[in-house]
Structure 1
């Protein structure tokens, strides 16, 4: 998509995604798709989450618990770690991009408040019914739980593992933690040499656009 936009002389904008993927694109690295290792999966299929976590720790230091909040995620994390153990380090596929990076700056408590308000709005707008419909279509609970955050906690509520109050509380905490990790990553990008133009989250949209255009002209 990026190359197609450049060919047509359009200005590419990459918005959202995890910090890792954004940084990988900007640095020009190639991240190969890690294939399924059926032999390894068969070997791990009967192990407990505690056992899988212990195995994963032999590959790397765990930076967060999202790798191991279910057996399926832990097995996939081990599969990826095993793949990279036997592969050459990632090669730079393209030249690093000459990029202009814009970040949305928001004070911690304001961020927490906005996350909580948005979660309640989404719950009131049919998010539970959406996941219930997916389950009725035949998607397995384990597959939905694998995707984490909203799918994980809503599914656990709908299959009876959590009460509604427990689900909302755990999901809210998980989203707050995720947002904190995102900000930690972006601050780390600055330490690794990326320049980020931070915009006040509460500026009117027109003013944000004006400030970005002014920076692009420099």
Structure 2
């Protein structure tokens, strides 16, 4: 299936909201098409953050080679530009081993930045402004900072969670320094890919997706999410770091700090995850080249797999 030297290199991509069933399908697809999987999730790079990020298990990683997992300490900064740079290096390395690179994940901007070779620049930066905005958030709260972003760039505010302070600061910084919105800069990126792309998107009935999200969170709690957060803090991870403000961690930290009850933390996590899934779907709907597969009938795994294989064959096998 692999392309010849004169053609664009092949890149297979599977996206969809959290809890839609990407992992199970990706493992079987990877076996069938001789793939190595690249995680397209911005949180799975952090070591020790396993349950809350729903990483592939060690058994699953032994079954299929995975990349972009456990590469950073939770206190280390990690950006879409770094993700893009690393993955652009990984793709030819995977091809050189006779394998097909396969990005699987739900962080839309990260995935799209690789698929369409987005250009990122730190030239339009203002460190003093960043420090001022950070100080504002410490004094007035992350929601107040998020409200500032909503005033100047509603589209970016819709995409970013109020607790994602670093990315909110960057979005405000881009507007203040350049006079243009980050959302507009992203929308104006040239959507030409250096790869022969096959992008498959998974979707399902919204009510069923929300039910699966709530069930997944119940399982995460049973697996020891609270203990995982406690361990990370005991090991010295900064509870106010970008990583620890991620979905599944900030809610538990709030409980551990006594800001709300255990039951309240679980309900908050379920609500936040439903909202996150909605934002994911909104992002993916605006991506071009996605071929959608409805996996609402969850018992029809073989049918969904056959459908995706038809899409891959139609795209890659000429």
Q: Is the structural similarity TM-score above 0.5? A: yes
* Cα separation, 2, equivalents of 1:115 and 1:5: 32
1:56 aligns with 2:152: no
Give unmatched runs, 5+ long, in structure 1. none
Cα deviations by residue, 1:61-82 (Å, 9 ceiling, x for unpaired):
2554674634xx4465223432
Give the superposed CA RMSD: 3.2
Match of 2:196 in 1: 98
Of 162, 170, 174, the residue aligned with 1:79 is 170
* Cα separation, 1, equivalents of 2:97 and 2:208: 40
* Cα separation, 2, equivalents of 1:68 and 1:177: 9
**What TM-score do you get using the length of structure 2 for normalisation?**
0.57
Aligned residue pairs, count: 213
Match of 2:233 in 1: 135
1:27 aligns with 2:137: no
Post-superposition offset of 1:3: 2.1
Post-superposition offset of 1:27: 1.8
More strand per residue: 2
The 1:51/1:123 distance shift into structure 2, 3 A limit, reads closer
* Cα separation, 1, equivalents of 2:229 and 2:160: 22
Give unmatched runs, 5+ long, in structure 2. 1-89
Higher relative contact order (CA 8 A, sep 6+): 2
Q: Is the 8 A contact 1:112 1:176 kept in 2?
A: yes
Post-superposition offset of 1:149: 1.6
| Aligned-partner SS, 1:13 | strand
1:3 aligns with 2:92: yes
Superposed counterparts of 1:199-210, under 5 Å = 199-201=294-296, 202-210=298-306
The 1:42/1:14 distance shift into structure 2, 3 A limit, reads closer
